[in-house]
Amino acid sequence: MNGLPEGYSVRPATLEDGDAIVSFLNAYYRRMIGRDIGTADQLTAQLRMPGIDLAEDTRLVFSPAGDLVALADALHFAPHVMVQSQGTVACDHQGKGIGTALLGWVEARAQKALELAPPEARVTLMQSLDDREAAASELLKGNGFTECRHFFRMLIEMDERPAAAQWPDGVTVSALDVDADLEAAYRASRDAFKDHWGHVDTPFEEGMERIRHRVENDPDFDPTLRFIAREADEIVAICNASPNDGGDASTGYIETLGVRRPWRRRGLALALLLHTFGVLYDRGIPNVALHVDAASLTGATRLYEKAGMKVDELNHALEKELRAGVDLSTQRLEP
């Protein structure tokens, strides 16, 4: 990789780097946003995710003293129309050209997606930044990226148990039974999230492989915090939660909340949200966080505000078009 300062070195990440990577990222984000973002066990599970090739998809940069001071990745899954990248440089090592060198590597690596995506498809390179990452934002915008979407981290701090969920007639809720429900719950989630901005349909079996990997490897995968709403025998909505947020045991995290289109506007999303809040509160977890599209196509921000959540952080999604073409991602709600 060209452009690194003298004495700095670069190599791909390995599974053995988990502790060092988490320590680096947590130190960076503690300084940037005031909190940790993960644990070594969580990261190791992510590094083992099917479809990720550490040797090809990741880079770590070390200082002359041997300290990890920067990292980047460039990941894409079928149909390969959106490359998700991350690039982070320790604050004390910024301004030396490391970020520019890593971005050059990311863009070169992202070219692989052009070989794999459908020939008529638009292909983009994406990166998300916290609103406070001004230097990274300037670097990306100076290299052809533009802000395309904004996301909120929303938070509720519960002083008392939330109101009981009010379920529509005929709807029941239960925790996930991994053996009996996993595939059907994933199908329902895919159906619900096809109406979310940026959603791209992936091959079903590849998606299920990644779900099974999480079940078997994610230390925070708790089926008793993954809730399924049914009408008769059909899954109509889902809510998936984690017992901590980046290792913070006082804050639960809602990964996904989705209602399939025919069952919307009946209060299901609010009921699932309040039910999840209540279960977490009863476990001694008084705070709950999630991330949401600030201009959600389904009006999710209004739902979360109604449930008592408030905006806690602002993130920006930036994109660079690698190839023009037909956009296979959801951009608006179709009737």
> For the chain, percent helix, then strand, then coil, each to nearest 5?
35, 30, 35
Q: Is 53 left (phi over 0), alpha (psi -120 to 50) or beta?
A: beta
28 confidence band (pLDDT: 50, 70, 90): very high
Cβ–Cβ contacts within 10 Å for residue 332, how many? 7
The answer to whether the CB of 58 falls within 8 A of the CB of 71 is yes
Say yes or no to pLDDT of 58 above 90: yes
Residues 129 and 146: beta-carbon distance below 8 Å: no
pLDDT for res 26 = 97
Distance, CA of 296 to CA of 149 (rounded, Å): 10
Residues above pLDDT 70, as percent of the chain: 100
State the Cα angle at 144 between 140 and 145, rounded to 5°.
55
The first and second tokens of residue 51, run together, are: 């479809």
> Whose structure tokens read 């915090």?
225
Q: Which domains does the chain have, with CATH numbers?
A: 9-144 (3.40.630.30), 155-314 (3.40.630.30)
Instruction: Please write the tens of the pLDDT for every residue from 233-284.
Output: 999 999 999 999 999 999 999 999 999 999 999 999 999 999 999 999 999 9
Q: Render pLDDT for 106-157 as a digit per residue (tens, 0 to 9).
A: 999 999 999 999 999 999 999 999 999 999 999 999 999 999 999 999 999 9
The amino acid that residue 246 corresponds to is: G
pLDDT digits (tens, 9 = 90+) for 176-207: 999 999 999 999 999 999 999 999 999 999 99
Q: Which two tokens stand for residue 297?
A: 């196509």
Handedness of CA 294, 331, 189, 85 (dihedral sign): negative
Give yes or no for residue 334 having a pLDDT over 90. Answer: no
Buried b (16+ CB within 10 A) or exposed e, 233-254: eebbbbbbbbbbbbbbeebbbb
Q: What residues contact residue 33 under an 8 Å CB cut-off, 6+ apart?
A: 130, 132, 313
Element spanning 68, H or E: strand 68-75
Task: With H, G, I as helix, E, B as strand and everything else as coil, classify residue 272.
Answer: helix
Q: Which of 72, 77, 152 has the alpha carbon at shortest distance from 117?
A: 77
Closest CA to 13 of 42, 50, 44, 51: 44
For 112, the token pair is 């692989």
